[in-house]
């Protein structure tokens, strides 16, 4: 669910504190309702269960030839050793400099001087 959090960051234009506070309040309201529903007896589905369900639905919609190609490509990637080179939970990312949404170069070390850093990748519009 998208909650419109881009107004909380100056990287997306001018910041709107009133809208940011309203978004946080709405998020908390939804969280409380969700928790109440789950505590009332609804089954809580784990993230892995949700991902497995999504994958099964997606794969069932593909032609068998396309699914075979995707599985073969996934197996090839795993056999390449790529999984041993990816960052694991708790690993520190290397220092980097990347363009933000406005094309300005942002340096991770400079941002880390201000506190913890969360990196979000936006694939853009296809």
- Cβ neighbors of 99 (< 8 A, separation 6 or more) are 105, 106
User: CB of 91 within 8 A of CB of 2?
Assistant: no
Residue 125 has pLDDT above 80, yes or no: no
- Tens digits of residue pLDDT in 50-76: 889 999 999 999 999 999 999 999 999
- Tens digits of residue pLDDT in 15-26: 677 777 777 777
- Cβ neighbors of 59 (< 8 A, separation 6 or more) are 67
């Amino acid at each position: 669910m998208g909650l419109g959090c881009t107004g909380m960051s100056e990287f997306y234009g001018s910041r709107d504190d009133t809208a940011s506070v309203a978004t946080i309040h709405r998020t908390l309201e939804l969280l409380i309702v969700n928790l109440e529903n789950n505590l009332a007896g609804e089954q809580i589905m784990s993230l892995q269960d949700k991902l497995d369900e999504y994958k099964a639905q997606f794969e069932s919609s593909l032609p068998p030839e396309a699914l075979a190609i995707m599985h073969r490509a996934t197996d090839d990637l795993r056999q390449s050793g790529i999984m041993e080179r990816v960052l694991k939970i708790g690993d520190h990312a290397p220092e980097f400099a990347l363009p933000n949404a406005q094309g300005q170069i942002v340096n991770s070390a400079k941002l880390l001087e201000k506190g913890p850093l969360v990196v979000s990748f936006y694939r853009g519009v296809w």
